[in-house]
Structure 1
Amino acid sequence: MTNQPILELKHVSTYVNKNTPDQIKILNDINLSVYAGDFITLLGSNGAGKSTLFNVIAGNLAVDEGQVLLKGKDITHLSEEKRTKYISRVFQDPKLGTAPRMTVAENLLLAEKRGQRRGLRLRGLNKQADKFEKLTSTMPNGLNQRLKTPTGNLSGGQRQALSFLMATIKRPDIILLDEHTAALDPKTSQELMEATQQRITEDKLTALMITHHLEDALNYGNRLISLQNGSVTNDLRGAERDAITMDNLFTVFEG
């Protein structure tokens, strides 16, 4: 990892009902530096600000105070649409992020053309068949056998695996994993988490992951961050991160 952060949040705050008697601060002076190759797991209770933080990074929530920088460039006021060229997101709901009437292969082709101008041209889908078969075979749930299947006919686990592949196929600068295994059964969740770790590690991707599964927070990633009342309360890495166990997790984060 280099010394230059790939993503920086500098004194970022957001409000609801701003400039009214009901004003509430959702993010409170967040300072965060994310480095290339980081796999950060985010912990925090409901209302701590985790999803709000992701919304700010993705650009679908405006910053009221502070700056968001990507590779040193100020993207604070860059639209969500323009940020999709650099930032991908996988949501908790398997139905989000894919087109249900399009096949698995068509969804992957669409994701591969993210950020490109789309004129009237032949899709070239057949030329991508071998590539997509190899890509989907990295998932543990038979997705490679469903390339011609409409996405709406997939299982939840297969659809979420497809969403993850679509989010990573263009090797974005930042991947936001928004509880992407929470809606899956335990076995499928673990399989997707293992595939997630493998792809992020092998492709040297940079990711932030919200999770309520404490085991996943401990077993995956190289940094562990906790949020409380819109503020970063812990940012553990290296030996500090490795020293966290289920036995001392609550002591560390409450202390």
Structure 2
Amino acid sequence: MTEPIFELKDVVVTVNQGTPEQINIMDHVNLAIYPGDFITILGSNGAGKSTLFNVIGGNIRVTSGQIRLHGRDITNMSVERRTRFLSRVFQDPKMGTAPRMTVSENLLLSMKRGQHRGLGPRRLKQSMAHFKDITSVMNNGLEDRLNTATGKLSGGQRQALSFLMATIKRPEILLLDEHTAALDPQTSQELMNATNSQITAHHLTCLMITHHLDDALKYGNRLIVLDHGKITYDIAGDEKDNLTKEELLSFFNDIEG
């Protein structure tokens, strides 16, 4: 049987400890992530979606429980060290890129992610053909703007760049944190199609938070619903393929269709 890449084992995150407002914002969560999983994540506001990603990324320390990578305990591993195997794309297109650097400079920087960097020639010209190839797959003209400052790109192009920067080194775990939510519907759908193509082509292991039921049903091999810090629903395979929007709506409220 295939072993999980990444696991949360009985993870609890408690806030306001020792006060009347004490609450578990992650409540004894168990989650096993397997190679090639593309997991879509739904939940109403406050359900624990961002907390889940922050725990996986190391931005929030757990109160109890264990986090494992390939069976090894990494519960106390720093955010910086986790960037060696994990990448994240945020909802805000401005968060994943350096605005005064060109598209190609941003991509070159992301190629050195997790590496020790000293002084030396950056060898940007030698990478331009590669950058043109990888940006062309996004189908939004990004390949023609390699020498453009990122701050001058459209929101869709900038978010596409953020996605490419996050995946250029093929991370073991990719976190997509509502990465299409800030875009108009057409641009959002174009980026989502390109995202799915790249995840499938490169067999990436991915978790994607979304508020769109249709996207949660259409993409990925597995779907999780969070509620009050607990995983209340986790389905995969044929069960997910046969799930209807109406059936999914019966599990929770207040999520945009």
> What is residue 165 of structure 1 aligned with on the other side?
164
Paired residue secondary structure (1:26): strand
Aligned to 2:152: 153
Deviations 1:176-204 (A, max 9, x none): 00000000001000010011110000100
> C-alpha distance in 1, partners of 2:164/2:116?
21
How many residue pairs match? The answer is: 253
* Correspondences of 1:185-200 after superposition (within 5 Å): 185-200=184-199
Q: Measure, in 1, the Cα distance between the counterparts of 2:21 and 2:211.
A: 29
Give the counterpart letter for 1:59 in structure 2.
Answer: G
* Aligned-partner SS, 1:27: strand
Identify the residue that residue 4 of structure 2 maps to in structure 1: 5
1:104-131 Cα offsets, whole Å, 9 max, x none, are 0000000000011111010000000000
CA drift at 1:97: 1.1
Q: Aligned residue for 2:25?
A: 26
**2:207 maps to 1:202:** no
SS of residue matched to 2:108? helix
Query: For residues 130 and 55 of structure 2, what CA distance do their matches in structure 1 show?
Result: 34
Between the aligned partners of 1:252 and 1:163, the Cα distance in structure 2 is 33
Secondary structure at 1:108 match in 2: helix
| Deviation at residue 19 of structure 1 after TM alignment | 2.4
Task: Give unpaired runs (5+ residues) of structure 2.
Answer: none
The Cα of 1:18 is off from its aligned counterpart by 1.6
CA drift at 1:3 = 1.5
**Aligned positions of 1:95-106 closer than 5 A:** 95-106=94-105
Answering whether residue 241 of structure 2 is matched by residue 242 of structure 1, we say yes
Moved more, 180-189 or 234-243: 234-243
Secondary structure of 1:12 counterpart? strand
Measured on the aligned residues, the alpha-carbon RMSD in Å equals: 1.0
Query: Distance in 2 between the 1:93 and 1:168 partners?
Result: 17
Q: Counterpart of 1:76 in 2: which secondary structure?
A: coil
Counterparts of 1:57 and 1:19 in 2: how far apart (Å)?
25
CA distance in 1, matches of 2:184, 2:153: 15
Q: How far apart are the structure 1 equivalents of 2:120 and 2:47?
A: 46
Q: What residue identity is the alignment partner of 1:233?
A: T
- Partner Cα distance (2:194, 2:50) in 1: 23
TM-score, scaled relative to structure 2: 0.96
The residue identity in structure 2 corresponding to 1:89 is: R
Q: Residue type matched to 2:237 in 1?
A: G
What residue ranges of structure 1 are gaps of 5+ in the alignment? none
Q: What is the deviation of 1:20?
A: 2.4
Distance in 2 separating the partners of 1:119 and 1:221: 39
Q: CA deviation at 1:227?
A: 0.4
Corresponding position of 1:63: 62
Give the letter aligned to residue 10 of structure 2: H
1:236 is displaced (CA, Å) by: 0.5
* Structure 1 position 251, deviation (Å): 2.5
Query: Per-residue deviation at 1:250?
Result: 1.4
1:234–1:253 CA contact under 8 A, matched in 2: no
Offset of residue 248 of structure 1: 2.1
Aligned to 1:80: 79
Amino acid at match of 1:198: S
Using the aligned pairs only, state the percent identity: 64
Letter in 2 for 1:155: S
Q: Could you tell me how far apart the structure 1 residues matched to 2:75 and 2:32 are?
A: 15
Per the alignment, residue 51 of structure 1 pairs with 50
Task: Name the amino acid aligned to 2:11.
Answer: V
Kindly state the Cα deviation for residue 247 of structure 1 after the two structures are TM-superposed.
2.7
Q: Contact between 2:43 and 2:252, CA under 8 Å: does it hold in 1?
A: no
Q: Distance in 1 between matches of 2:11 and 2:246?
A: 33
Where do 1:99-178 residues align within 5 Å? 99-178=98-177
List structure 1 segments (4+ residues) > 6 angstroms apart after TM superposition: none
User: 1:140: Cα distance to partner?
Assistant: 1.6
Query: TM-score under structure 1 normalisation?
Result: 0.97
Distance between the aligned counterparts of 1:168 and 1:131, measured in 2? 14
